[in-house]
Amino acid sequence: MSQSLTKIYLHIVFHLKTSCRIIRPEDIDSLHRYIGKMVNIAGCQVLQVGGTEDHVHVLITLSKTENTAHVVEEMKRNSSRWIKTLSPYYEDFAWQGGYGAFSIGQSQVNTVIRYLQNQAEHHKKQSFRDEYIQFLQLYNIEYDEKYLWTD
Note the pLDDT tens digit of each residue in 112-142: 999 999 999 999 999 999 999 999 999 999 9
pLDDT at 8 over 60: yes
Q: CATH number of the domain that 47 lies in? A: 3.30.70.1290
Q: Which domain holds residue 56?
A: 8-148
Closest CA to 90 of 12, 26, 39: 26
**Do 129 and 146 contact (CB within 8 A), yes or no?**
no
- Map residue 58 onto helix, strand or coil: strand
Q: Is residue 22 part of a domain?
A: yes
Rounded Cα distance between 140 and 136, Å, is: 6
**pLDDT of 30-80, one tens digit each?**
999 999 999 999 999 999 999 999 999 999 999 999 999 999 999 999 999
5 alpha carbon, distance to own chain's centre: 25
pLDDT at 149 over 80: no
Q: Is residue 3 part of a domain?
A: no
**pLDDT of 70-111, one tens digit each?**
999 999 999 999 999 999 999 999 999 899 999 999 999 999
**pTM reported for the whole predicted model:** 0.92
Q: Is residue 1 part of a domain?
A: no
Q: Taking the chain, what is the end-to-end CA distance rounded to the nearest angstrom?
A: 47
- Predicted local confidence at residue 2, as pLDDT: 63
Q: Where are the alpha helices (DSSP H) in 15-57?
A: 25-41
State the CB neighbour count (10 A cutoff) for residue 51: 22
Q: Is residue 132 part of a domain?
A: yes
- Predicted local confidence at residue 145, as pLDDT: 83
How many domains would you assign to the chain?
1
- Predicted local confidence at residue 75, as pLDDT: 96
Q: Is residue 2 part of a domain?
A: no
**How would you list the strands of the sheet with 45-51, edge to edge?**
45-51, 55-62, 8-15, 100-104
